[in-house]
Amino acid sequence: MRKSIILLLVLFLCVVNSNAQSANNPKTPFVVKGFHLDLRIQVMPMDAMKVFASKLNTLGINTLIVEWEATYPFEKNPLIPNRYAYTKSEIISFIQYCNSLGIDVIPLQQSFGHVEYILRNDRYKDLREDQKDFSQVCPLQTEQDKALFTDLYTELASTHTSKYIHIGGDETYLLGHDERCKLKAAKEGKSKLYIDYIKMLCDIVIKLGKTPVLWADIALKYPEAIKLLPKGTVFIDWNYGWDMNRFGDHQKLMESGYEIWGAPSLRSSPDNYFLTQWEKHFKNIRDFVPASAKLGYKGIVMTSWSTSGIYSPVFESEDSMIEEYAIRHVYPLNGFNILLAAYAESIKSVKPLNIENFIAKYCDEQYGLNAEQSARFWNALKTAPYEIIHGEVKSKSPLSVKKLLDSAKIAEATLNDLKPSKNKEEFDHYRLMAGIRTHYLEFHYVLQKVNTPTFTNAQVPEVLQELKNMMANEETLNKRFIELNKNYLNPSELQQENDLRNIRVRLLYDRLYRQK
Cα 69 → chain centroid: 14
What are 103-162's pLDDT values in tens digits? 999 999 999 999 999 999 999 999 999 988 889 999 998 888 999 999 999 999 999 999
Give the chain's radius of gyration (CA, Å): 25
pLDDT at 2: 45
Q: What's the length of the chain?
A: 516
For position 13, what pLDDT does the model report?
39
Peptide bond into 270 cis (omega under 30): yes
Residue 18 predicted with pLDDT over 70:
no
pLDDT of residue 321: 85
Is the Cβ–Cβ distance between 114 and 170 less than 8 Å? Answer: yes
The answer, yes or no, to whether residue 20 has pLDDT greater than 70, is: no
| Helical spans, DSSP H, in 189-336 | 190-207, 217-221, 250-254, 278-294
Question: What's the CA gap between 139 and 177, in Å, rounded?
Answer: 11
Sequence-ordered strand ranges (E) for 104-258: 104-107, 164-166, 211-215, 234-238
Residue pLDDT, tens place only, 370-384:
999 999 999 999 999
Q: Which residues pair with 251 in a beta bridge?
A: none
> Over 90: is that where the pLDDT of 516 sits?
no
Q: List pLDDT tens digits, range 473-496.
A: 999 999 999 999 999 999 999 999
Domain positions in the chain are 22-347, 384-513
Residue 105: beta bridge partners?
A: 64
Residue 189 — pLDDT band, cuts 50, 70, 90? Answer: confident
Per-residue confidence (pLDDT) for residue 27, from 0 to 100: 67
What pLDDT does 89 receive? 98
pLDDT at 25: 40
Highest mean pLDDT among 4-13, 187-196, 462-471: 462-471
Summary mean pLDDT of the chain: 92
Domain boundaries 22-347, corresponding CATH code: 3.20.20.80
77-104 residue pLDDT tens:
999 999 999 999 999 999 999 999 999 9
pLDDT of residue 427: 98
| Residue 3 in this model has a pLDDT that exceeds 60 | no
Percent of the chain exceeding pLDDT 70 equals 95
Tell which residue, 98, 79, 69, has the closest CA to residue 160: 98
How many CB atoms sit inside 10 A of residue 456's CB?
A: 9
The β-bridge relationship of strands 211-215 and 388-389 is: unpaired
pLDDT of residue 463: 97
Question: Is this model's pTM higher than 0.85 or not?
Answer: yes
What lies within 8 Å, CB to CB, of 172 at 6+ separation is 112, 113, 136, 194, 218
The reported pLDDT for the residue numbered 176 is 87
**What are the CA-CA distances from residue 306 to residues 71, 278, 310, 490 (Å)?**
14, 16, 11, 15
